[in-house]
Amino acid sequence: MKNAHFCIGIVTAIFLAKLNPSIGNTGGILRPEITVKYLAVSIIFFNSGITLPTEDLTGALLQWDLHIFVQGFTFVIFPVIVYFMVFILQHTFLHPALLEGLTVLSTMPPPVSSAIILTKAVGGNEAAAVFNSAFGSILGIFVTPFLILLLLGSSEVEMPYNRIFQQLCLTVVFPLIAGQIIHNTWYKYYRRKNIPFKTIGQILILFIIYTTFCATFSRTDISVDTVSLVCTVLLIFLLQLSVMTFLLRASSSSMFNFTSADSIAISYCGTHKSLTLGIPMIDIIFAYNSNISLLSIPLLMYNPLQIVLGGMSIEPYQQWLLDQKRKRRKPAFEWSHV
């Protein structure tokens, strides 16, 4: 397999995280609250800024139909889908707090890392992924608390908007601009150096996977029966798989004027949810809720699974893109390549 080394890397990262999760947990030797939250994310956007042609990035900014599609699905369609799914599941044995956690999960903004790296790895519209990840994260600061209030009726709280906005500027906007400046001034120089930007991106995503699973395995305040836990994992996996397939089918249909590369970006950006923004929001909004640990479980499961599923999808997505070059009309995507 073309991307077997990356899949092996994912499995290895998860295994190492399980062996000693304290290393990559908050406060551990690797200090993910700094190395991931600031350094890794900054390097990812700097990497995108330095490799993306400016005309591609400015062109992506004008793709309003694509941005409306992604953000509309993220903050409207996805929450509605999960809301009705939870309405049906409330008659099952699953804990009500887990179901509320699924609703909270559905309102979360996209992350500012994984969707970009996966889109780039496949060969999709990286510029569109960069814009929607950054814009969606900023939008989520304001939209997510409102959606939680609307869907769950949680009491309104004061969010640290200024602090989160400053963090996004430091880790997203400034590195992206710096990368673009270098791209337009020393492009020929770093091209001659053959810097492995793609490999750097994959290493960063593996590091993020490792620290994410370290944080998950380190949680000792979560108490839920095994059956509910397994069912929740399976439910989230099927949800992600279904939504990814739906987005690729819908965006590549004749109803829209998106390119195949656009559809790849849409599939990743529309399904990925941010853990780094999500967990602090849950901690703030549900600070006095006795079930806060259970509310966090769906997001804690969803984030690692979205990266694992993303890694599994690289090769079939690449094959799908190749198929589109041979056909004028875009066929429905099949997961048979996985």
State how far the Cα of 134 lies from the Cα of 126, in Å rounded to an integer. Answer: 12
Residue 62 confidence (pLDDT): 80
Q: Report H helices in 54-153.
A: 54-61, 64-72, 78-89, 96-106, 114-122, 126-152
Residue 305 confidence (pLDDT): 85
For the domain spanning 4-218+225-323, the CATH number is 1.20.1530.20
- Name the DSSP letter for residue 332: P
Q: Tell me if 274 sits within 8 A of 110, measured CB to CB.
A: yes
Q: Where are the domains of the chain?
A: 4-218+225-323
Residue 2 has pLDDT above 50, yes or no: no
Q: What is the pLDDT of residues 114-137, one digit of tens each?
A: 888 899 889 999 889 988 988 888
Dihedral Cα 53, 59, 64, 65, nearest 10 deg: -90
Task: Assign 65 a pLDDT band (cuts: 50, 70, 90).
Answer: very high
Residue 223 confidence (pLDDT): 62
Residue 105 confidence (pLDDT): 93
CA 19 to chain centroid:
25
